[in-house]
Structures are given as C-alpha cells and as structure tokens.
Structure 1
Amino acid sequence: MKLTIERAALLKALGHVQSVVERRNTIPILSNVRIEAEESGLKLTATDLDLAIVEEVAAVVSVPGAVTAPAHTLHDIVRKIPDGAEIELSFSTEDQRLHLKSGRSKFTLSCLPSSDFPEMSEGAMPHQFALTASELKELMDKTRFAVSTEETRYYLNGIYFHVTDAAPDAEGGASAGPVLRAVATDGHRLARVELPAPDGSRGMPGVIIPRKTVGELRKLIDELDGTIQVALSDTKVRFSFAGATLTSKLIDGTFPDYTRVIPVGNDKELTVDAKLFAEAVDRVSTISTDKTRSVKLALESGRVTLSVMSPDNGTATEEIAVSYEGSAMEIGFNARYLLDILSQITGGVVQVLLADAASPTLMRDAQDGEALYVLMPMRV
C-alpha cells in the first residue's frame, strides 16, 4: 500500500474516526483505525463494536492495499506535522509496519492485519428518510442534556426517537399531523422536541440512540449544512453524509411512557426573560456548596425572589421582575437543571407553568412551540 495525501484532509478525517476509539481497550485491534487505499481514494474505519464510523477522503493512491494502525498515535503524529504539508503513507508486508513520511520527518508504526478488523454487520434497514443538518442538530441539542448517565437505567442512556401524531391541545406543540419526536429524561427533568415527520419516517419503530452515538454524531455534523440520510431497523441506525457513514447499535430496551409525566393542569403561568432569569439563578447558586445546588423561588404578583441558603457560606437572594398573576407560592429547583433548560430557550422569553411546590413544572420557549421541558421540583 502506498498513497500521498494532504495533511489537513488526513487530520480532519482522523479526528473524526479516532474519536470513536476508546483510550483503553482489552482487544488490541479495537485501538486501531483501518486504512484502506483504493483507486477512488482513502477510506478510514474505526469501531468500538457498538459504533462504527467510515470516512472517505481524497488521496493519490499509487499502490492499493489495507492495514490497521494505532488510531490515537497516528492522529497525534499528523496533528503535529506542519500545516500545508503532504504526507506519504506506505505499508510493506516485509516488515509489517506503516511508514509515514512528511518532509524530513519519518515515523514507523506497528500494525495489525486488516483482515482481523471487526465488521459491523448492518442487516436490512427498511426505514429510510432524510433530515437537514440543522434539523438533526436541533433535535439532539435540545434534548441530550437530559440524557441519564445512570447505567442501571440503561434504557434512559440515550435519546428516544419516534414518529407520532401531534397532540391536538396546546401541550402537543405547534406541529400538525405526524411529527418526528426526540425525547430524553433522567427522571429529574425531561426534554421533548419535535418537527414535522420527514417523508419515509412513518411506520419507523421507536428507537433509543445511545449517548455516545449522539455525541459523536453531533461532532461530525457540527459544521455541516447539507442533508443527512437516516436508515434504521429495530436494532441499528445509520447516518450518511458528506463522505462519512456512522452506524450504531440501538439501546435494546423500552423507553418509559414519558407522556405520563408531562403535566396538563398547571394553571399558574410565569413569563420572564430567559437570559435575565438564568443570570440571576447562576449568581445566587454561586454560594451553594451542596451537590444539588438547590435554589428557592418565591413567586408573587409581578416578581420572583430567588434565594439560596448554605450552612457553610451564608445566604444569597435576588429579586427579578416577571409576568405573574397567580397566587403566591414557593418552589425549589436544582439550579444546574434549571440552567440547562434555560440555555435551550432561544426565543428570549421562557414560559413557566406551575401547579404547586410538589408537582412537575412545565417550561417552554414562548416563541418555539416544538420544544417542551419538564422539571421536577425539590425540597428547599
């Protein structure tokens, strides 16, 4: 195998694929990236057996072939080569080493046979549809903060995607007809975002896309503006775009009936500038020393008083003007959870619907009917 490639192109592709590779592996081949030189160019593949990424990049191939090399080491080498340089990669069966040359720099890396590299069998993926990069970013960005990290409740360790009919009432969002809905919850907060169901998505099974897959996919499409092809079955999902393909196993579990925790009778409405609210919460929570970082909200007509008490540091209070005409009440929240939700409010004004100090609180962007958040209160 022998090829020549621009440093920038190789670095970008390696940056994508090496991210999937775990730093610690008990199976040596999983620490490697498969390098395939074909007439059409270079193909890089990495996997952790649950997630696989394949990226194609332009290269001048003089001798086709395939080999695997340590992913993180190769990425670090290419990263440290001067920008604008050309890199020559070659592999000889005589010494079983990958040779990298660039200018006066030469590196030799240990290799493992390409034939030992595991293949992720995809099987049939009968459900296929397309999303724009901005649509997929929105579905992930506005929900993934609520994904659980508790391994015991593994079925909450991802985002639940499914197609359903939009509810006819105000709680169902602004969309009419079938919607593609993304939901995440950790038991303390819930995020639900939806958009009109794309062509081909009707009839798809409800699937839970793992947290790691969501993170890797989000990095890959960060600067992408095009269309993403989505294909899925009951067990796997595949995303294809701009010369890259990400294939992942789905979480084998049943996502709970999240509709049961979305309150429908909350009659106390508070509206406030989300940025001012978030800044006030952030300031008063600075004094908190406990893990929960609890903040108490005392609501009265036209204002809310935020307060935090810390046995070690003292107290903090701040009053902000709001639109609220309900009866006076006090309610407590985890400050970090509250800030996570407020950071998703892009329209400027957050609408908060409350019932009492012990019931779930509903929050939404006043200008975005497609996103909805639920936050459980806490005793303060």
Structure 2
Amino acid sequence: MTSLFNNYARRAVHLVKGQGTVVTDDQGKEYLDFTSGIAVVSLGHAHPAIVKALQEQSEKLWHISNLFESPEQEKLAESLTKDMDLAYALFCNSGAEANEAAIKLARKHTGKHKILTFKQSFHGRTFGAMAATGQDKIKQGFGPMLESFEALPFNDVEALTDAANENVAAIMLEVVQGEGGVNSVEPAFAQAIMEVCQHYGILLVIDEVQTGIGRMGTRYAYEQTALKPDIITLAKGLGGGFPIGALLAGKDLFDTFGPGSHGTTFGGNPLAIAVAQTVVDHVFDPAFLQAVQDKSAYFKKQLQAVLPAEKYSLRGNGLLIGIHSNEVIGPVIQQAEKQGLLLVPAGANVIRLLPPLTVSKAEIDQAVGILKNILV
C-alpha cells in the first residue's frame, strides 16, 4: 500500500546517499549516477562547497519573501547575465515556472498571443508549459489546452517560414531537445529563426532548463549557435539539487514586468540563492567549462570505439549525450541498473547520458564498460 499518487513509474531502488557521481541504495549497493537527477546535480552529490553554503545560510535566514530587497539575488542575477545581451533576472522555483513566466512576459510585452514551439519539445507540466510542449502524450486527458500555441516540425525551415508572421509573439525552443530525443538545432534552422524574428519583431525564448549552466560545455547552449535570445529560462542544474528556476531577459522587456505583474512566494529564497551562487561560481569558471568539453569529447570517443555504427549513433553535445538505437531501449535501462549504472531514456529509442559535470574520466570508462557489456 502507498499514500502516494501513482503518477510516476518509479524504479524499485531506494537511494539513501550520494557522493560525487556515486549513489548508494538502502541495501548498500553502489551505482554510477548518469542521470544527475535528470540534469540537476550539476556538481555531483553532496559537493562540499554546496553543503557548506547551505549549512551557513540555514543558520542565518531561510525565507523573507520578495517583499524585501535581496542583495544576494542581485549578485546572482549579475553573475547569470555577465557579458551577455540579457540584463535582468527573475527567480522562481522550477523550469515549468520559468517557462510560465516567459510565456506571460512575451504575451504581455508584445500584446500578441501566438507562440510557435516545436514537435518533440518539452517545456513543463503546468497548463501554459504543457500547451507549449510539442508532445501529445503530455496533454492527454486534460481537455482543451491554452490557446495560441502551434508546434512545428523541428529543424524544418519551410514550416517555420510558412508559420511566422506579424501575429506571432514569440518562438520558444530548446537548443537541444533533451526529453524529446536529444535532437540538436541545425545551423540553417537557427539562422532561419533569427531571420523571421528580426523580420516580424518576434521574441525568441530559449528554454535552457536542461542545457544551461554548463551542461553543454558553455554557460548556455545557445552560445554555440547563431541564436540570440530575448528571454532565457533556467532551472535544473542552476541549483545543483536545490529547487530554483530563473528567467533572464533583455533591457527592452524590463518595464513589462512591473510591480504586481508576476510573482512567487518562494522564488529566490535565501537558501536557493546561496546554493545557486555557489554552483554558478564553480561552473562559469572557464577552466571548468573547458573540462566539460574535454570530458564530452573523451566520452564520445570511448563510446564510438565500442558501439557498432550500424546499430547505434550519438547525439547531443557536452555532457548531454544521446545514444540512438534501432531498438527500444527500456530493457537496456533496466540491465544497466542491475550492473550499477543509472540511466534515463529520451523517448523510446534514445539512451540519455547525463552525468554530473564533475564526472571523472575513470567513471566515464566504467560507464562505457557497462554499456559495452549490454549493447555489444
């Protein structure tokens, strides 16, 4: 018997502690965690700097609400927007909340309602974020969706140019569709997005909830493309395991969110800000980001050396890597767990590899060895 809703397909593993990339269950069995809590535990489990920041802040102040000034929020906002065109931040509690705020900001600022999104995208499970998501399975059973969203085929320039017009408020996309199959935006498509945005005055919203904060080897994934966002949404890795979300936007949008236009009780509370600042201070260091890129290249090279090209192909970048299979990968996820490697799928045919950004090459070698045992 359980007192919990059955809305999660839970695995029969009870994890009780973690350190770095390794987690341990209640039977004492250890696993390599290549899920990172779905791209959340960016610095690994129980990172000493995060533990220290949380402990120190917990002894000072937990919550005061956003009725009061917060120099700590100001500092984190400056850290997130340094050396970029975006200038302001709004803090919330999750990626879905950040995307809700982005939808509201885009519609209010432009006075228009239509937002173009893309098939196989994932933006969250609140009503606005769910309507923006380009996967029907997310929407089943909930009745009519919030109006004025249109999901286009991803990387289809013709479909984009046909749908874009002066009535569109925003285009909303992930640079890499994590949940939808680890699908990356193609250069020609990124250029086409910028052209229609500039031609019709459309705002560009980039959902960096999964790809941001160093996951792709740069601060934000869009930095590796021709895309220039008006709004960015963040969460997951920003808190390193502590709940926090954020919206970043340009100067032109500042006056749109005046007092009373949007809010959150817990968003940007002192505990979350202290942890997120610690994460950003570590991840945004150029040497750290270079290390992520180096580990990504090493990981891909090791995988390519053992996986038959006729059966598997690699997708993604940084430490968001997908292994596309010709077969359903559900059994692979189960077998890997038995052998001490935790994985997460990205659709029916893609294994999503999301280790902490602090993963070692030795741990990558262990993971590749387990995958070789199962896949080859």
Same fold (TM over 0.5): no
Higher relative contact order (CA 8 A, sep 6+): 2
* TM-score between both structures, scaled by the size of structure 2: 0.24
Q: Which has the higher helix share?
A: 2
Q: Which has the higher strand share?
A: 1
